[in-house]
A and B are shown apart, each in its own frame.
Chain A
Amino acid sequence: MRILRTRGRSVRACALVVAAVCAFATAHAAGVASASPIDIWVHDHSSDVIKPRPDGLSEIQSTFGPVCGDNSNGARSYWPSQDSSGPGYVYYDPYIGKNVGGNIRGHVQFDHKDDAVRWLVGGYNCRYISGTTSWSLHAWGAAIDTNSATNPVGQDHWNGVGSDGKKYGTYLPDVWAGPYPGHKFFWGLNWPNKPDPMHFQYATGY
């Protein structure tokens, strides 16, 4: 992203430039040789970003509001291999906006693991769980599917082959739901009787 014009304060931009220069200087002073891009990004694991995860329908509704509600798709980020034709946007509730758009998307990008992502990647989707009158957590913008074409419902394992054909193991599940870096999503593969490996949701008990 290139900033073309700034209106208002430019304090943050200046701070970033200063930080970049300082980081560069510090790295060289310490004798660290690095040709990697200057990875300045904020990942924030505070409770302001990784917020309380609702448990059960009552908490889901009080956290995310009505199903298919206004702005349940009010946050977005741009993902590689979002669908079969290439990159695209993924939408979700702003309650998890910083966690998904900042922490998780940032981790994948700055780990240089965009190619671990393989279509389809989807978030908000106003739909029922098939055959029921229960709404999918996607209808609250509280769940994300990733690498769905190779990780369908019912498959009892994670297929970590990325869009470049290479094996990434459980890198993506680790980012979404693992103990490290720990972004607190619940992984559908942990439903023992009806595994859903593509599915990561910011709720339990539903």
Chain B
Amino acid sequence: MRTRSLIVAAVCGVTILGWALGRGSDPAVAAHECPADVGQADGNAGIAAVQNGRLVGIATASAQPALEANAVARQVATNGGGAAYVQDRRGADAIVLSTPDGSRILLQSGEAYHPSWSVHGAVAWGVDDRLVVRSTAGERTIAGPEPGGIVFAPVFVGRDVVAAVSAAPTTAVPEDEWSDDLWLLRGGRWHRLTAFAAGTDRWTAIRTPFVAADGSVEFVVVRGRGSQDRPPSFSLWRLRGMSVHRIMPLGGERYLAGYEGDGERLWNVPDRETETWLIQRDTPDGLQTVGCGAVAVDPMDVPDPDRIGHAAPASAAGSNERTAPADPGDPMEAALLIGDFPSQVAADVVAQQVTATYAGSMPVDVVQGGKGSTIVQPDRWAVVVRLPATTDGSAELSALQATLPDYADHMWVVVP
């Protein structure tokens, strides 16, 4: 009986999606092909996603999203009889709901995030720092717990809503993500569920919460340091009741995309070479690619409409009050800098090592920072290896780091 209902629901979903999304103009997007060996497996996955600007999955491959010019479909959620997704536009976005009753475009007042369905057909989504819940009883907008932050990725847990909330920018982190936590909306009040570590440099992000078959909420936690030039760590976490714990580390960048009928997790894994989101499922032998498309993640193959700008001049006339410097006509030279050292003696020791490394073939200086220095701060010392003007220094930097690994984290390209 349950199987028959699911089939009926899926067929309804196909019909509705095909009708609702089969209109509108083609978005101007580059073609990024799903690997050929995947075939139609994304249909078997039973979820919808955005690929090449179109909805795919649930046999909607031929359907076209009804998009406004310059709009991008993203963050698709389906239930048995309908679909919801963000129509990301220049400026304020829209939420598109497709149900057996028809398709509706709901204009929003700001940036919209991650619509999500309840088992009873209600839908929730984030708009800037607010949560919107729409049901048969009407539509409510609830202020989020962090004014100036972002409410995103809500999911229904019974009658409650669990949402990720991104903290507002600070003077130390004036833009981009730095601190996410999960919050529970119960009885009209927000209750904080997590308190992940975050600060000026260390950051924590929460991504792609989904409700598992057992009613728990699984989500990906990403942790990194803004200053470090290495990828952040990814791990899978679970919320059960009010308790949160880590399930397992993830080998690299991936995000939850839902579950198959047997309860196996589906993942969105980026294939950066082709700018394609792969849909992969857990198997005993590892991850298996079953389709392509962005489910709760953001498409890579189309830019955010809010970030398509006109390359206008920085200013009108009247700002050139300064004197133009004379151009000596010489090509600019870069250098490798190893530092900073608290004393000249310490810098001298390293300078000897560096000189030996190059066998005297490169000019090596010990320099002291002073007023006006643009490469080393006052009262600190550094070793500088001058490079030919023909290089930007990146290859030489990597080579010297490999030769002197103890100083690898203390080397930079500078313009002396």
> Which chain B residues in 264-312 approach chain A with CB under 8 Å?
272, 275, 297-298, 300-301, 303-312
Report whether A176 and B314 are in contact in the complex, using a CB–CB cutoff of 8 Å: yes
Q: Knowing that A102-B415, A131-B150 are A-B contacts, what are 5 other residue pairs whose CB atoms are under 8 Å apart, sorted by A's residue number?
A: A40-B328, A87-B377, A94-B397, A153-B169, A169-B315
- Chain A nearest CB from B212 CB (Å) reads 20
Give every chain B residue within 8 A of A69 (Cβ-Cβ): 229
Report whether A70 and B376 are in contact in the complex, using a CB–CB cutoff of 8 Å: no
Give every chain A residue within 8 A of B360 (Cβ-Cβ): 7-8
Report whether B312 and A190 are in contact in the complex, using a CB–CB cutoff of 8 Å: yes
Q: Complex Cα distance A131/B75, Å? A: 12
Residue A71 interfacial (CB < 8 Å): yes
> Which chain B residues in 218-272 approach chain A with CB under 8 Å?
222, 224-232, 255, 272
Q: B306's contact among A70, A78, A138, A191, by CB below 8 Å, is which?
A: A191
Proximity string of chain B (317-341) to chain A, C-beta cutoff 8 Å, 1 when within and 0 when not: 0111111111110111110010000
> Which chain A residues in 2-59 approach chain B with CB under 8 Å?
2-10, 12, 19, 39-46, 48-49, 56-58
Contacts A8-B363, A101-B375; A126 near B412 (Cβ below 8 A): no
- Chain A nearest CB from B110 CB (Å) reads 10
Which segment of B20-28, B40-48, B364-372 sits at the interface? Answer: B364-372
Residue B192 interfacial (CB < 8 Å): no
* Interface residue total, chain A, C-beta cutoff 8 A: 106
Report whether B328 and A169 are in contact in the complex, using a CB–CB cutoff of 8 Å: no
Which B residue sits closest to A94, measured CB to CB?
Answer: B394
Contacts A101-B415, A134-B304; A94 near B393 (Cβ below 8 A): yes
Give every chain A residue within 8 A of B230 (Cβ-Cβ): 68, 70, 126
Contacts A66-B272, A138-B176, A206-B303; A111 near B323 (Cβ below 8 A): yes
Q: B171's contact among A95, A102, A120, A129, by CB below 8 Å, is which?
A: A120
Q: A43's contact among B224, B319, B325, B401, by CB below 8 Å, is which?
A: B325
Q: A8's contact among B322, B362, B416, by CB below 8 Å, is which?
A: B362
Q: B413's contact among A10, A75, A105, A187, by CB below 8 Å, is which?
A: A75
Q: B175's contact among A43, A109, A196, by CB below 8 Å, is which?
A: A196
A-B contact pairs, 14 of them (CB 8 A): A1-B374, A5-B365, A43-B332, A49-B332, A61-B272, A94-B334, A97-B392, A102-B334, A111-B325, A124-B229, A169-B321, A192-B90, A199-B175, A205-B303
Report whether A73 and B227 are in contact in the complex, using a CB–CB cutoff of 8 Å: yes
Residue B172 interfacial (CB < 8 Å): yes
Residue A159 interfacial (CB < 8 Å): no
Contacts A131-B150, A191-B306; A7 near B392 (Cβ below 8 A): no
Q: Complex Cα distance A136/B178, Å? A: 12
- Chain A nearest CB from B381 CB (Å) reads 8
Give every chain B residue within 8 A of A131 (Cβ-Cβ): 111, 113, 126, 150, 152-153, 164, 166, 177
Q: Complex Cα distance A83/B226, Å? A: 16
Q: Complex Cα distance A71/B351, Å? A: 22
Which A residue sits closest to B363, measured CB to CB?
Answer: A8
Give every chain A residue within 8 A of B327 (Cβ-Cβ): 43-45
Report whether B393 and A72 are in contact in the complex, using a CB–CB cutoff of 8 Å: no
Residue B348 interfacial (CB < 8 Å): yes
Which B residue sits closest to A148, measured CB to CB?
Answer: B174
Give every chain B residue within 8 A of A41 (Cβ-Cβ): 325
Report whether A178 and B315 are in contact in the complex, using a CB–CB cutoff of 8 Å: yes
Contacts A1-B373, A4-B366, A98-B332; A205 near B308 (Cβ below 8 A): yes
Give every chain A residue within 8 A of B190 (Cβ-Cβ): none
Report whether A5 and B229 are in contact in the complex, using a CB–CB cutoff of 8 Å: no
Give every chain B residue within 8 A of A43 (Cβ-Cβ): 325, 327, 332
Report whether B255 and A44 are in contact in the complex, using a CB–CB cutoff of 8 Å: no
Report whether B177 and A8 are in contact in the complex, using a CB–CB cutoff of 8 Å: no
Report whether B374 and A105 are in contact in the complex, using a CB–CB cutoff of 8 Å: yes
Proximity string of chain B (375-402) to chain A, C-beta cutoff 8 Å, 1 when within and 0 when not: 1110001000010011011100110010
Contacts A94-B397, A191-B309; A127 near B334 (Cβ below 8 A): no
